[in-house]
Amino acid sequence: MAPALGRLARLSALVHGRSAVLSRGSGPGGTVTLGRTAVCTSSGAVLPKPKKTPFGLFRIALVVVPFLYVGTQISKSFAALLEEHDIFVPEDDDDDD
């Protein structure tokens, strides 16, 4: 199992162009863990900063708000449909003693 995992890690590193570091656990039957460096390349060069998406929060709001509104409208119409067909009608509890 461990040699297959090592081959898979090396293949993944070749396909994705990343360096993979394998470390064995101590003792018999130790697990093989896959770790990679996130800030430097295999030669030690520092990677450039990740690309920042402009207006990220605005884009999220632009997607979330319309879908929340549509979901609310669907919920309201379905609740009206259930009440119309007397499937779910809340009871009026008159506790005026």
Whether 44 maps to a domain, the answer reads: no
- Do residues 37 and 21 make contact, with C-beta atoms less than 8 angstroms apart? yes
Domain carrying residue 8: 2-35
Count of the separate structural domains present in the chain: 2
Residues of the chain with pLDDT under 70: 1-37, 94-97
**What integer pLDDT is reported at residue 34 of this predicted model?**
56
Q: Which pLDDT does position 8 carry in this prediction?
A: 61
Q: What is the pLDDT of residue 5?
A: 57
CA 32, chain centre distance (Å): 25
pLDDT score of 29: 58
The whole-number pLDDT of residue 58 equals 92
pLDDT for the residue 77: 97
* pLDDT at residue 49, rounded to an integer: 86
Whether 94 is covered by a domain: the verdict is: no
